[in-house]
Amino acid sequence: MARSTIPPTSGVPGWQSASPDLDAAIGGTPLLRLRQASALTGCTIYGKAEFMNPGGSVKDRAAAAIVDAAERDGSLRPGGTIVEGTAGNTGIGLTLVGNARGYRCVIVMPDTQSREKIEFLRTIGADLRLVPARPFKDPGNYVHVSRRLAQETGAVWANQFDNLANREGHRATTAAELWQQTGGMLDAFTCACGTGGTLAGVALGLRDVATTAGRPVPEIVLADPEGSALYGWVKTGTLSVEGSSITEGIGQSRVPGNLQGIHIDDAERVPDAEALEQVFALLTGEGISVGGSAGINVAAAIRVARRLGPGHTVATILCDGGARYGSKLFNPEFLRGKGLPVPPWID
């Protein structure tokens, strides 16, 4: 379905109408039919092209929603400062939205994240503070550092993990767009979680629209990388971490506020090699360049489609673009060092 048919409830006019400013150009992304994944399963598998947002990722939506909410509740005033802890993409979204609306952004980020995201944040003017990667229970974890920095300086802490404006943004836009773009013919939705804002917001929004339309509520499936505790949480109700992943921005050791109280039907745990297979196939077979979390999402969508059987429709999220990960996903030495397959055209 064309972007021009996105309903006003989505809050975004989409790219077919003139955008008065950057904010209006966030969301309204194309829903791409993934040819290979669909052929493989006999289903229709769609990927929402979130890499086409102005900041290049799904996190532009959360950034805009969080800034909107802080302006509405009066905590963010003209010329104010926003502080956030992020794997990078939320920082990019916040900095661009901040630039557009006159706010300064201080971004705290683990130094393990891709060089490309770090360099991009510097070039767009973020006040970037890199910190060593630490577990959440350590006070040096980037989330805690960002919270303390906001408290000490009187700035607004975006708090994307527990700030429900994040999932509400996805409920109002991403879910509404998915429903509209599939004409309500959606059997399942799958995606990975960092904050859980995307999965939770889409789950809530699809439930709203399906119930109003008197249609079955699409199945909601978590896609989880190795090294994350969420798969076990969905499957057995317990949190425990096994293995690790090279993907960025996804996987959790705890249940963030945005995921709490959300009904999730099932979960798939996807190893990096299976995700990379999808990243490389999307690129070479369909010209779609995505990062690792999108690979996890598409691999999970294929598993769900196989379980449902031919004729079903499954949607997922193409969270960001491959250019953000040249130094990792497309670096033969890095991949070899992790025991992962190296695509022949870069070897």
- Which positions are catalytic? 59
Rounded distance, CA 189 to CA 265, Å?
10
Give the shortest CB-193-to-ligand PMP separation in angstroms: 4
CA distance 179 to 216: 12
Q: Tokens standing for 272?
A: 């990096």
- State the DSSP code for 237: S
* Burial class for 236, CB neighbours closer than 10 Å (0-12, 13-18, 19+): exposed
Interatomic CA distance for residues 186 and 192, integer angstroms: 18
**Of the two residues 80 and 176, which places its CB atom closer to ligand PMP in the complex?**
176
Contacts of 67 (CB under 8 A, 6+ apart): 76, 82, 94, 97, 98, 101, 103, 158
Cβ proximity to ligand PMP, 227 vs 249, nearer residue: 249
- Closest contact distance (angstroms) between CB of 20 and ligand PMP is 26
Give least dist CB 245 to ligand PMP, A: 12
What phi and psi, each to the nearest 5 degrees, are found at residue 77? -110, 165
Q: How far is the CB of 166 from ligand PMP (least distance, A)?
A: 7
**Taking the complex as a whole, how short is the minimal distance between the CB of residue 59 and ligand PMP, in angstroms?**
5
- Rounded to whole angstroms, how far apart are CA atoms 205 and 200? 8
| Least CB distance to ligand PMP at residue 227 (A) | 14
List strand residue ranges (DSSP E) for the chain, in order.
31-33, 44-49, 81-85, 104-110, 127-131, 156-157, 188-191, 219-225, 266-270, 313-318
Give whichever of 66 and 312 is closer to ligand PMP, judged by the CB atom.
Answer: 66
Structure tokens at 332: 């033969």
Looking at the Cβ atoms of 76 and 92, the one nearer to ligand PMP is 92
State in angstroms the smallest separation of the CB of 220 from ligand PMP.
13
User: Applying CB under 6 A, which residues contact ligand PMP?
Assistant: 57-59, 87, 89, 192-198, 248-250, 291, 293, 319-320
DSSP output for 285-311 = HH-----HHHHHHHHHHHHHHHHH-TT
Residue 339 CB contacts under 8 Å (≥ 6 apart), including other chains: none
Q: Which is nearer to ligand PMP, 88 or 98 (CB)?
A: 88
Give the separation between CA 254 and CA 273, rounded to whole angstroms.
Answer: 24
**Would you mind telling me the total number of residues written for the chain in this entry?**
347
Residue nearest ligand PMP (C-beta atom): 249
Cβ proximity to ligand PMP: between 80 and 194 the closer is 194
Give CA–CA dist 274/340, Å, rounded.
10
Residue closer to ligand PMP by CB (options 13, 249) is 249
CB of 57 within 8 A of CB of 294? no
Task: Quote the longest CA-to-CA distance of the chain.
Answer: 56
